[in-house]
Amino acid sequence: MIFGDIRSYEIEKAVYPAPVRQAVEFIRSLNAQDKELGRYDIDGDNMFALVQSIDTVTRENRKSESHIQYVDVQYLVEGEEVIYFGRKKDDTAAIENKLEESDYALYDTVEGEMELRLSPGMFAVFFPDDLHRPGCSDNGGTTVKKVVVKIRKSLFE
């Protein structure tokens, strides 16, 4: 997992993998506050952005997720969001496994789950073994606008 802020991107960008730099550069050029919700292709199905509006829920009302085909770059445009995250372990059991057909699995419990609080301009990068529970807030019921860039894992090879 990588955690960053668009305001310090210029200083830190040299240490990010090339696909992450491409995703963040796209986010910087997007002017996401004014963009319509929906999908924006960067490189077809290899890399694309989803501009989303999400109503947050409490941690207990959101399942953790993972992906095997794509890496997520989750960038917060408006609002405040809490993303809970933890590393997948060998004995972590999915309660719903759609990895092959839809590139996601859902989990109830994540051992050692930590909290990441995002404010506008911050982003997090989640790799395949990073279980993440996005779209949360302390009390739920707030709306956030975010951009999720999906990067095909093979672009990192």
- The string of pLDDT tens digits covering residues 89-141 is 989 999 999 999 999 999 998 999 999 999 999 999 999 999 999 999 999 99
Task: Say how many CA atoms lie within 13 Å of 30 toward its Cβ.
Answer: 30
Which H or E element spans position 85? strand 81-87
Q: What is the pTM of this model?
A: 0.96
- How far is Cα 155 from Cα 98, in angstroms, rounded to an integer? 22
Main-chain phi, psi angles of 23, to 5 degrees: -65, -45
As given in the structure block, the two tokens for residue 77 are: 């445009």
Under 8 Å between Cβ of 125 and 72: yes
Which H or E element spans position 30? helix 18-30
